[in-house]
Amino acid sequence: MRPILTFLFLLCAGGASAQVAVSTPPATVEQAYAPVNQRDPFLPATVFGDQKGRGKPDASSQQVVKGTFTIYNLALTGIMEDAYARQALLRDQTTGLLYTLKSGRLLDSKKKRVPGVSGVVKGKQVVLMTEDKKVYQLNLREKE
């Protein structure tokens, strides 16, 4: 029985050979992966778009933060809530820098406290206060 099966197998395998026809050439890596932006996915993401992963803003934005920061240029971007507290995300409209209001303190993008500014998150509203008792109220605008 075994020799007959072997003979049939060789007969079937020897007579038919597989032919493969390729209609298109294989794609290269450049053709298969064409990202919209050219950011390296293995570098850590940064706030300021620094490709070296340092996250340092340019000198002009540092001067604006140190010299002419005012709470009146801030816009409320969003409010987040976790199990412990509510946080507000604020953006400076002139420089584009991000700030976070957390636990009554206004923090810059490096998580350093902005001196002389405190605040509170109330519902969909943020109230900021300065040392000289100026109050600025921001409302979260929802998309209609």
DSSP state of 138: E
| Mean pLDDT, the chain, whole residue set | 77
pLDDT tens readout for residues 75-131:
999 999 888 889 999 999 888 889 999 999 999 988 899 999 999 999 889 999 999
How many whole angstroms separate alpha carbon 45 and alpha carbon 109? 13
Structure tokens at 4: 């007959």
DSSP state of 43: S
* 3-state class (DSSP) for residue 42: coil
pLDDT at 15: 53
Q: Which residue has the higher pLDDT, 13 or 120?
A: 120
The sign of the CA dihedral 86, 90, 143, 123 is positive
The pTM of this model reads: 0.53
Q: Where are the domains of the chain?
A: 70-139
Place of tokens 């706030």: 47
Share of the chain above pLDDT 70, in %: 67
